[in-house]
Chains A and B, each alone.
Chain A
Amino acid sequence: MKRSRRVVLTMMGTAAAGAVSMGFVPRNDCGTERLLQRGPDGRPTENCRVTYGGFGGAPYRLHAQGHAHGGG
């Protein structure tokens, strides 16, 4: 017998799952980089330099309208 015993989805197909699966995480105001800052005590309060957008270029290189998707 090859039957799958029980298939349960806990996230897909629900309104709650919709919000989660959108991956909505607000992008912080870091921008492309954020300089080191120091607080009154001289300690660094931020130490982030982050750049984005370094992945994901292939669909645009391969298909003019960026239609290509990663799955196959």
Chain B
Amino acid sequence: MRRITCPERNDWRATAEAAGFDFHTIDGERYWDECAYYALTLDEIEHQIEAPSGEIDAMCLELVGRAIDDENYLRRLKIPEAFWSLISESWHRDEASLYGRFDLSFDGRGPAKLLEYNADTPTSIFEAAVFQWTWLEQAIERRIIPGHADQFNSIHERLIDAWKKLGRECRLHLTGTTESAEDAGTLAYLEDTARQAGLATTLIDIEDIGWRDDGSFVDLDDRAIELAFKLYPWEWMFHDAFGELLAKAPTRWIEPPWKAILSNKGILPLLWEMFPGHPNLLPAFFDDDPNAARLGASFVRKPLYSREGANVALVSEGMAVVEQHGPYGAEGYVRQALAALPNFSGQYPVLGSWLIDHIPCGLSIREDENPITGNTSRFLPHAIL
């Protein structure tokens, strides 16, 4: 794996905006960054990213199967008891998942390590599926990168295939915080792929979802919401006013409620418990577990529920040396072994391994000068060389 600086396409901003990628720059700071790209070998992709991602997914599903009806697991994950049945029923009905993204630390010199799993509301899928592919094609054309370059990327067509399986007979509603340009862009892209799969679609802001007293969630046209993709996390749904109505409505959600088990950093110690020593896992414990002392005085502390690096702290010799502030942590923390992100010219990359319908099929890379990846960490393209 290498980080290679390269010239930017001089029209990349116009290309981005023509494709609807309006959030290429966020609050004046570069988000899409093509001043460099990461080059990986095909062997690294196939044997260090793709195959392990399939294995990690299988381990996660085994964990869900074990936890789904086990009060001990559900309490350790701090999932509110009021939603245990909703979660269990979605699992036993085999409600399908569309996608997820593993965040991995990898430097080409050892196995990739799972940092966490964005199982419920991963973003950067448009950049991963479309824009970095456009970059590859144009960069080859313009001789910015070698002509034989390739990319680990079949996300787009797999999304379309997955939508076909999920619900051609239904109208799909897509919902989220549409005021966010990034979330609106992600929703627009997923809507595009759903339309290409033949689904009728409606986009609706999360606040505009209504509850009709016949027992249905409805849109602004008073149409019942049968199938809904939400870019809004389960842990937020549970605590919203309509949370108590979730079990009463026939709406099928994507991601399904059972994904709430995986969208929780508590899976890190649980996976380590089930698969100790696995090469793609880092040792991890719940913060209040006496066994956490095995990690010593240096570890990463992460809230069970947190997003975009918020409230994550790198603790070295008992001192928090890097800490992102934020509003999370009320449900408790986990400790994960401190595996420093690789440093490529002062940049710390995190690899995002995408699964669509449980199939590993794409890679996204975010980097930052800060070893904790956050919302403003830049997206860089990759190539297989």
Contacts and interface: CB of A to CB of B under 8 A. Distances in A.
Interface stretch (B225-233, B294-302, B316-324, B342-350): B225-233
Contact of A7 (B134, B203, B236, B237): B134
B192 A12 contact: yes
Interface in B139-189: 150-157, 175-180, 182-184, 186-189
Binding site secondary structure of chain A:
loop
A50 B182 contact: no
B221 interface: yes
Given A7-B130, A53-B207, A55-B242, A26 B153 contact: no
Nearest to B201: A20
Contacts of A40: none
A47 B213 CA distance: 9
A47 B212 CA distance: 10
Contact of A71 (B176, B205, B327, B328): B176
B61 interface: no
A63 B325 CA distance: 12
Contacts of B182: 69, 71
Contact residue range for chain B? 35 or more
Given A13-B18, A57-B240, A2 B207 contact: no
A50 B18 contact: no
Contacts, number: 174
A16 to B, nearest CB: 12
Contact of A25 (B19, B118, B212, B219): B219
Nearest to A69: B180
In this complex, the member of A1, A5, A23, A47 whose beta carbon has the largest number of chain B beta carbons within 10 angstroms is: A23
Contact of B129 (A7, A17, A47, A68): A7
B150 A50 contact: no
Given A28-B220, A48-B222, A56 B212 contact: no
Interface in B116-149: 118, 121-123, 126, 129-130, 133-134
Contacts of A50: 210-213, 218, 222
B315 interface: no
Contact of B205 (A56, A57, A58): A56
A23 B86 CA distance: 29
B188 A21 contact: yes
A63 B134 CA distance: 35
B252 to A, nearest CB: 16
A32 B189 CA distance: 32
Contact of B183 (A5, A61, A70): A70
Interface in A1-58: 1-14, 17, 20-23, 25-28, 30, 47-58
Contacts of B202: 23, 25
A55 B188 contact: no
A70 B240 contact: no
Closest 3 CB pairs of A and B: A54-B242, A71-B123, A23-B203
Interface of B: 17-21, 42, 45, 118, 121-123, 126, 129-130, 133-134, 150-157, 175-180, 182-184, 186-189, 191-192, 195-196, 202-214, 218-222, 230-233, 236-237, 239-242, 245, 307-308, 327-328, 384
Interface of A: 1-14, 17, 20-23, 25-28, 30, 47-59, 61-63, 68-72
Given A52-B207, A53-B207, 14 more contacts: A2-B152, A9-B189, A9-B192, A20-B191, A20-B203, A21-B20, A23-B205, A25-B202, A25-B221, A51-B211, A54-B240, A57-B241, A62-B327, A71-B180
